[in-house]
Each structure stands twice: as structure tokens, then as C-alpha cells.
Structure 1
Amino acid sequence: MNALDLLLTRSSQPKLQAPAPAGDVLENIKQAALRAPDHASLKPWEFVVCTGEGLQRLGQILQDSAIAEGKEQESIDRALQLPHRAPMVIVAITRYTEHPKVPQFEQTQSTACAVQAMQMAAVAQGFQGIWRTGSYAQSAYVKSAFGLAEQDEIVGFLYLGTSCLKAMPKPKIDSAKYFTTWS
């Protein structure tokens, strides 16, 4: 698959199974993240790769968050299993660095670009993924469990693995609805 086909056929795959990326494939995914646009080379990212027991640890953080935030029992029970929807979850974090020319939102956007790059690198190597956010990405409890400062952010959880489903073709989108040309 060439780069253009990769970008034009991108879609999220929510049903993932083992195997997860490993070895050189995983290293390529990591290196793709580190090539994201990064004004002033601040490298505002931190990525926590969860597999095996790490998925259980992440699930425990999510469950403890659900308890601390007074969620219903169904949500508390479900939280422990959320990371197990894939054999790998990469937690994408922006660790904000104060800089006179690079505001916080730009550093967060840099991390978001890194997540997109990781997903595309995974797909290019035969794996699939889905980028999830939700209330746990915004949870003060979860942020604290990862040792984040108040201004830091969890940009999302990138679930990676092997797709259980065949990707369905998506219809072409009319670009004229979203692009205006000034000539």
C-alpha cells in the first residue's frame, strides 16, 4: 500500500485481536510518532505502551477512576475490561512545556499528529487501530495516576492489534463541502 492509498482509505477498526505490533514493526510505529510536526522541537509527548499485565494495570486505573468519580456499578465493572478490547493500548500524553512561541494547544496538536502517525504506521505494516478518548482521557483521577501536571493532557488511547473484521469501503466525501478556494 502506498502512502496516498493509506491516507485515502484510513478508517478505524474497533474489533482488534492478537497479535499486536512488536519488534521492528513497533519500533517503526514509535519512530513515526517522533516525526510529528513539533514547533521548536519541544517533543511534548509521552507515550505509555500497555500490553499484557500493562492492560490490566491500565484497566485498574480506569476502574479506580470510575469509583472515585461515583459512576454507576455497570461503568465501574466495565472500566476494568476497556483496555482489553485490543492486545495493545498506547496512552498518548502531552506534557506541556512553557514556551513563548509554542502555546499549549499547539503542543497538544503535535501529540495528536503523533497519534495519527502511529495509527498510519501500524496500518502500513498490516495492523489496525482505533483512537479513543472519552471521559477517562479527561479524568483528573486518570491524569493523576499517570503523574500529569494540571496543564498536561491525555490526548487519547490508541488501541492497536489485528483486525477481526474486513474493512468496509467508505464512500468518497465531497471535498467541496469543506474546502473553499481563494484565487
Structure 2
Amino acid sequence: MSELVNSILNRSSEPRLAEPAPDASVLEEAFACAARAPDHALLRPWRYLIIEGDGLEALGDVFAAAADPDDPLAPKVQKLRQMPHRAPMMIVGITRHQKHPKVPEIEESLSTGCGMAFLLLALEARGYSGMWRTGPVAYHSAVREGLGLAANETITGFLYVGTPIVNKPSVAPAETKSFVSRWPND
């Protein structure tokens, strides 16, 4: 089995992350991998924000602005403020939607999502780990505005990145027959 396939088959999200975060050279390589995502019409519809250090505190303030005191199920301000501190680095994946006659917006979002997956795999190949999250804050106008997104941009996800504190036990893979079939049926 190839090293790449083995890495994919054994990867899992790691929620407990600590220092160190990847350095500039590891990030450069990982973002080069992200840029190899499928990209209909070569629109390069992605961009990324790296947030660490004091930026995590500022991001907590941005998240706190998304609190809804009238919704009893919504996360509370303090929880929102602490969310960025789950890891020493966050990478925000952003899709830049562009008008193109042959490329629907969903393909741009999927391209950015593939880039984020490639980014995560590249970081894991260098000994780091991550957890991809979205949640209500990813779609809240206060967060979009706080991060400086343009009107044609959406958040694809927040990638929490760092060094795993402990590696979770591997998760049993889903049996492919539970989600793969041939069409038309034999």
C-alpha cells in the first residue's frame, strides 16, 4: 500500500492540539498542496487566513460578536470567545465566488474544500494534526465582516492546527458496500 493511501486510511481529526504549530516552510509546502485541488476553469477560487498568537484572541472577539442572547440553544459569548484557543493556529478557508458561465458556485466551494483536505493531509504528513470545523459562526455576518470577507466570499471552514497531545484510537473505517453501489443495477 502506498504511503499516501495509508495516511488517508489512518487519518482522524484530532481535537486536542498544542504547540508547536507548523512553521513557515511547512505551511508553504502545505499551501502548495492545497493549490493542487481540482479547479474547473482554473479560477483558483480559494484564499486562506492564518491566525495564531494574538490573532486567536482577536478572532475570539469576532466569534463573540456572533452570540445570540435570544436563542437559548446558541453558544454563549464566553464559549465563542474561547473557541479559537482550541489550537495554536487556525486556518480559515475562504471561497471567492466568481461569475463564470461554466462553473457554478458549488464547484468553487467544493474546490476550496478539496484544497482544505489536501492542506490537512500535507500538514499531517509533516507530523501535525488538525480538526476541521464550521458551525454557526462560519455563516454569521458578524464573523464574515470581522474577517474582512468581500460580498462574494464565504467561509468554507476553520481548520484548527497544531501538534496532537495524544493520538486518538483509530476509527473503524466505514464498509464501502454501505455507501457504494453500481448503476444501473446488475
TM over 0.5: yes
3-state SS, counterpart of residue 28 of structure 1: helix
The aligned amino acid for 1:103 is P
For residues 131-158 of structure 1, the C-alpha deviation after alignment (integer angstroms, 9 at most, x for no partner) is: 0000000111111222334442101100
In structure 2, runs of 5+ residues without a counterpart are: none
3-state SS, counterpart of residue 142 of structure 1: helix
- Give % identity: 39
Range moving further from structure 2, 76-85 or 149-158: 149-158
In structure 1, runs of 5+ residues without a counterpart are: none
3-state SS, counterpart of residue 160 of structure 2: strand
The residue that corresponds to 1:84 in the other structure is 85
For residues 90-113 of structure 1, the C-alpha deviation after alignment (integer angstroms, 9 at most, x for no partner) is: 011111111000110100000100
Range moving further from structure 2, 161-170 or 108-117: 161-170
In 1, distance between residues paired with 2:78 and 2:173? 39
Q: In the superposition, relative to structure 1, how do residues 2 and 151 fare at CA in structure 2: closer, same or farther (>3 Å)?
A: same
Q: Contact 2:14–2:167 (CA<8 Å) still a contact in 1?
A: no
The residue that corresponds to 1:39 in the other structure is 40
3-state SS, counterpart of residue 180 of structure 2: coil
In 2, distance between residues paired with 1:146 and 1:98? 23
The residue that corresponds to 1:181 in the other structure is 182
Q: Contact 1:95–1:148 (CA<8 Å) still a contact in 2?
A: no
The residue that corresponds to 1:138 in the other structure is 139
The aligned amino acid for 1:180 is S
Kindly report the root-mean-square deviation, in angstroms, between the aligned alpha carbons of the 2 structures.
1.8
Q: Contact 1:20–1:161 (CA<8 Å) still a contact in 2?
A: yes
In 2, distance between residues paired with 1:128 and 1:65? 27
Q: TM-score, structure 1 length as denominator?
A: 0.92
In 1, distance between residues paired with 2:129 and 2:3? 16
The residue that corresponds to 1:172 in the other structure is 173
In 1, distance between residues paired with 2:176 and 2:80? 38
Q: TM-score, structure 2 length as denominator?
A: 0.91
The aligned amino acid for 2:37 is A
Q: Contact 1:93–1:156 (CA<8 Å) still a contact in 2?
A: yes
How far off is 1:65 after superposition? 2.1
